[in-house]
Amino acid sequence: MRKLDLAEPWWPAEDDIDAQVREDLDRWERDGHASFVGADAARWAPATRWEAQAALAQFVEHRLAAFGPHEDAMLAEDPWMAHSALSPALNLGLLHPLECVRMAEDAYRSGTAPLASVEGYIRQVIGWREYIWSIYWHVPADYRQHNSMQADHDLPEWFRTLDAAEEVTANCLKSVLTDLRERGWVHHIPRLMVLSNYAMQRGWSPEQVTAWFHEAFVDGYDWVMLPNVVGMSQHADGGLMATKPYAAGGAYINRMSDYCGGCVYDPKVRVGPSACPFTAGYWAFLERNADRLSGNRRMLQPLAGLARLTDREAVVEQEQQRGSAAP
C-alpha cells in the first residue's frame, strides 16, 4: 500500500444540523423530489466559516509543503495526496481565494513550505481558478452545446451511476469511480486524465458529461464545471480554451500513478485480451478525429504516430467493438 507520509486533511465532526440535512435529503429522495448518485458517507467538506478556516490552516501547516512534487500524481490508496480539498469551501464562499494565497505565501516566507509547492498551489488558485472564471463569462451563451468533435454517444449506465465496483476491471477507472462514489470528489488529474480522457476517447456527448460532473461532484458549480469539462477536458469548443485535446493512453497513466501494476490490462498492449482500453482507445480516438485535428500543429506528431501504427485497423476495429461497454 502506497500513501504519502502526511497528516490527514482536517475533518469535521458531524452535528445535529448534518443529521437534519440527511433526513431531509432522504425524504426528498423517498418522495421522488430528488435523486442522488454516490454513497451516503460522512461529510468531509467544511460547512461553516470556522470549519473552512480550520481546514485551510491544517492544509497550509501540514500538507502544503508536499503539494508541488505530487500535484500531478495519482495513488490508488491515497485519494487526497497533498491536495487541499478546499474547492467546496472556496466555491461556497467560506474562504476567499486571496486569503488562501496569502496564507500559502506566509508559509513560504516563514520557511515552512518550499517555493515549488507554494508557487504550484498559488498558480492553481489565482492562475487556473481565476482564468476559468473569466472564460465562463467570455464564452458565448451556447457554449454548453458546443461539440466540435461531434461526440454524440450516451454515457453508459456503469459510468453514470458510479457502479464500477462490480462491472469495471480497468484498475484506474474502477479505483477513481469508487473514490468518487465514496466522497463526491477526486483530485484534478483523475478528473482530467482518467474520467474525462475516457469520456472523450469514447465519444460521449460533452453536454451529458457536463451534467454528470455536476451530479457526481460536491464542488460542482456551473461557472467552474462548464469551461473545465466542455473546454479543457472534452475539447468540445474546438480549442478556444486548450490548444490540444487532453487525450492520453495508458503509458501516461502508468507514468503518473500506481494503477497499472494491479490491472488485468497492460498499458503497452494495443490489441488482444490484455489491450489497455486507454492505450487502444487513444489511437481509436485519433483515427476517428484525424481530419478534424489535422490542422492543429500540436497534433501533427500524434497523427504521424497513428500513420505509422502497423496494427491500426485491428486496434480501431477492436475499440469499435468495445464501444462504451465497461472495460
Ligand X SMILES: Cc1cc2nc3c(=O)[nH]c(=O)nc-3n(C[C@H](O)[C@H](O)[C@H](O)COP(=O)(O)OP(=O)(O)OC[C@H]3O[C@@H](n4cnc5c(N)ncnc54)[C@H](O)[C@@H]3O)c2cc1C
Our finding on whether 86 is near ligand X (CB under 6 A) is yes
Can you tell me which residue has the cell 467546496? 88
Contact (CB, 8 A) for 170 and 161:
no
Q: Which does 172 bind (CB under 5 to 8 A by kind): ligand X, ligand SF4, none?
A: ligand SF4
**Quick one: which segment of 171-179, 186-194, 303-311, 319-327 binds ligand X (CB under 6 A)?**
186-194
Our finding on whether 101 is near ligand X (CB under 6 A) is no
Our finding on whether 94 is near ligand X (CB under 6 A) is no
Q: Which does 277 bind (CB under 5 to 8 A by kind): ligand X, ligand SF4, none?
A: ligand SF4
Our finding on whether 75 is near ligand SF4 (CB under 6 A) is no
What is the spatial distance between Cα 24 and Cα 22, in angstroms, rounded to a whole number?
Answer: 5
- Name which of residues 214 to 253 contact ligand X (CB under 6 A): 217, 219-221, 224-225, 228-229, 232-233
- Pick between residue 25 and residue 92 the one whose CB is nearest to ligand X: 92
- Name which of residues 264 to 283 contact ligand SF4 (CB under 6 A): 265-267, 276-278
The C-alpha cell of 249 is what?
493512453
Our finding on whether 87 is near ligand X (CB under 6 A) is yes
What is the spatial distance between Cα 260 and Cα 96, in angstroms, rounded to a whole number?
Answer: 38
Give Cα separations from 308 to 74, 287, 301 (angstroms): 31, 12, 11
- Pick between residue 122 and residue 290 the one whose CB is nearest to ligand X: 122
In 3-state terms, what secondary structure has residue 27? helix
Shortest spacing between CB 178 and ligand X, in angstroms: 17
DSSP 213: H
Instruction: Please identify which residue in 66, 170, 189, 199 interacts with ligand SF4, judged by CB under 6 A.
Output: 170
DSSP 74: B
What is the spatial distance between Cα 214 and Cα 231, in angstroms, rounded to a whole number?
Answer: 15
Contact (CB, 8 A) for 137 and 147:
no
Q: Which residues contact 219 (CB under 8 A, 6 or more apart)?
A: 87, 88, 91, 185
**Nearest residue to 145 (alpha-carbon basis) of 203, 197, 195, 209:** 209
**Could you give the string, one character per residue 244-263, with x where binding to ligand SF4 holds by CB under 6 A and - elsewhere?**
------x--xx----xx--x
Our finding on whether 267 is near ligand X (CB under 6 A) is no
Residue count of the chain: 327
Chain positions contacting ligand SF4, by CB under 6 A: 170-172, 250, 253-254, 259-260, 263, 265-267, 276-278
Chain positions contacting ligand X, by CB under 6 A: 83-87, 90-91, 121, 124-125, 128-129, 132, 187-188, 191-192, 196, 213, 217, 219-221, 224-225, 228-229, 232-233
